[in-house]
Amino acid sequence: MAREIGQNKVFFIDWSPVYAGWLRYEAGSGGFSSFAMPQGVRLVVERPEKSPAWLKSELPWEDRSIHAYFTVIHDGGRYRLWYEALGSYFEKESDDYGVRLCYAESDDGYHWTRPRLGVVSYRGSKDNNVVFDGYVGHKFGYAGGTVFIDPVAPAEERYKLIYTGSVSSIQKAMIRGATSPDGIHWNAFKEPLFDDYCSDTQTTAHYDPRLRCYVGYFRQWSEDGRRGIARATTKDFRIWPRPVMMLLLDGPQDHPCHDLYTNAHVLYQSAGPDEPADPENPSNEGAAILPFHTDVHLMFPAQYTREKDSLEVYLATSRDGIRWHYWADDPLVVPEQRGEGREGSFYAACGMVPMGKDKMAIAYVRSGKKTAWSQSRRRARGHSARWS
């Protein structure tokens, strides 16, 4: 049996594009025979190419490190980067402990400019590329933020930021938000998106055109102390319910010493709101839909290996953002000398961008090193930033 796909792009992230085969009755023999069974087909993860490093700590407010939590967007013909910098200097009353959201931009993804924006003060001067910190966030600190473009928001709120805030004096964490007309000038909400919740990683969010709501992915700890990925949805970006655990490496096929440290979620393709979402079945489970008419969700989690104290980037795929396949046997971004005990930590940034005519890229960070791209046909990497 063949499926007519025409010019549609098909994503082989599960077996749904492959016909499962059938049994047919043979009248002559009175028995059944197999028909159109798939043979010689495997789904494998393509290991991406790694670029040279293209971003490293250079400025005073980055002197501790450029942290692993990035957002990269290709917007208006430019590569736009929001990255988390850790500086030695901080004022405790801001509760940011030297963590600042900084901005850079590039025409080609390799040569970056850190514009002096004059927005946020650092040690009495605004001659820097800092766009958000604990003071802008009403002295509730800043950590683990992600920027996204909201396609349904008014112009003054086109860019949104979700992050973790805190009140260290009472050891309290919360999820907070901000909006911006340009990604540079931010207005932080006075009230948290939800309170008493610690997502001590890079929290991500996006607007889902099919569900017509905002979807966020957060860290959540299991009862037995394992890090997993939780999910929440809301119609109002300013008010969120508590997230629910969605992906956790606790099955018999998983290693007992492995956690999911980050999620690096990307909505690569949206099928769009062809029909109103059914609140009782938001993933349209059970519907007979072709694989190129579905959403394509990707995650690039940093898997923490406790026995080696290291992290490598893996892949998780989904057609609805709810049911995920975790490709546990095929890490995407790994050290060149794997198994020597000096691997370090690799984190994927949030955001997938075009790189040339036929490649996509995600940024990744190797701790203690530089930032780079990790690339594959139609896939990037960023302590240094690189592409993968």
**Rg of the chain, C-alpha, whole Å:** 22
pLDDT value for 155: 97
Check residue 193 and report its DSSP letter.
S
Whole-number Å distance between alpha carbons of 388 and 233: 30
Q: Which amino acid is at 206?
A: H
Residues 6+ away with beta carbon under 8 Å from 140? 95, 134, 165, 166, 167, 174, 176, 192
Beta bridge partners of 71: 82, 350
Which architecture characterizes domain 50-387 according to CATH? 5 Propeller (2.115)
pLDDT value for 324: 96
pLDDT value for 169: 65
pLDDT value for 343: 60
Whole-number Å distance between alpha carbons of 130 and 114: 9
Whole-number Å distance between alpha carbons of 289 and 198: 38
Whole-number Å distance between alpha carbons of 203 and 108: 27
Q: Which amino acid is at 255?
A: H
pLDDT value for 17: 86
pLDDT value for 94: 57
Tens of pLDDT, residue by residue, the chain (388 residues) = 566 777 778 889 999 888 888 888 888 888 888 888 888 989 989 888 889 889 988 999 998 888 889 999 999 999 999 999 988 876 665 556 678 999 999 999 999 999 999 999 998 899 999 999 987 877 788 999 999 999 999 999 999 999 999 887 667 899 999 999 999 999 999 999 999 999 999 999 999 998 999 999 999 999 999 999 999 999 999 999 999 999 999 999 899 999 999 999 999 987 766 455 455 554 444 444 566 667 899 999 999 988 888 889 999 999 999 999 999 988 898 876 665 555 668 899 999 999 888 889 999 988 754 456 666 654 333 345 667 7
356 and 347 Cβ atoms separated by less than 8 Å:
no
Structure-token match 């749904």, residue found:
16
Spell out the domain ranges in the chain: 50-387
71 and 160 Cβ atoms separated by less than 8 Å:
no
Q: Is 280 exposed, middle or buried (0-12, 13-18, 19+ CB in 10 A)?
A: exposed
What's the N-to-C CA distance of the chain in angstroms?
37
Q: Is 109 helix (H, G, I), strand (E, B) or coil?
A: coil
Q: Is 244 helix (H, G, I), strand (E, B) or coil?
A: strand
